[in-house]
Amino acid sequence: MQIRELSIPDAYEITPKQHADDRGLFLEWYRFDRLEETVGHALNLRQGNTSVSKRGSVRGIHFADIPVGQAKYVTATHGAVLDFAIDIRVGSPTYGQWDTVLLDDKDRKAIYVSEALGHCFVSLTDEATVSYLVTDVYNPTREHGINPLDAEIGLRFPEEAGELLLSPKDTEAPGLAEAAAAGLLPTWEAARAFYASLDNGGN
């Protein structure tokens, strides 16, 4: 597989090698050792999630408090979504910026989003099925959201998504500036310190 860092530090696109024959195909969609070589530490996976979404469905922007946070390794097993990694770390050189990876059942790419980054995707097809491996169990007291339509962040949703469908929780979430003013966002310094603790075996 090929692993490429996105324009947002600590987010990566993973492109697996697919082996096809007359029976179908085979691929390794997750390799802990290859990812560890890239990010500097192994992932301590604690939960697996699957979502099935109508075309136009938006899920996010979501993030969790550090420590422990919740890193995510995400792929689409059916259909297609455009996945966003958003830098919400106050003081980061790319604060407020984002990058994307197209996850679909053709190229079968994955995205790795480190702890303290925001995550969001929009479904480009009906029945888009997304599977996530995450490094901590869901904890509603430590989970937060930012409105995915926040103009300051300015996510661009492709036309093929059609009419956007958002949950009340996401539409009622604060914008980036409001979340920062409320002290909800991680800082760049805290994120770097947390990643360093994982690199030293703290995970």
Q: What is the span of the domain harbouring residue 125?
A: 2-199
pLDDT of res. 201? 67
pLDDT of residue 203: 46
DSSP secondary-structure letter at 117? S
Find residue 25's DSSP bridge partners. 20
Query: What does the pLDDT average to over 108-115?
Result: 98
Distances in Å between the Cα of 73 and the Cα atoms of 81, 132, 168 are 14, 6, 25
For residues 141-170, give the mean pLDDT: 97
CA distance 123 to 164: 9
If one compares 200 and 111, the residue with the highest pLDDT of the two is 111
**Mean pLDDT value across residues 116-121:** 98
Residues annotated catalytic, as ranges: 62, 132
**Average pLDDT of span 98-104:** 98
Structure tokens, 147: 């409105």
The two structure tokens encoding residue 57:
């469905």
26-75 pLDDT, tens digit per residue, is 999 999 999 999 999 999 999 999 999 999 999 999 999 999 999 999 99
Integer CA distances (angstroms), 77 to 85, 103, 146, in order: 19, 9, 26
pLDDT band at 202 (very low <50, low <70, confident <90, very high): low
CA distance 46 to 161: 31
CATH number at residue 143: 2.60.120.10
Number of domains in the chain: 1
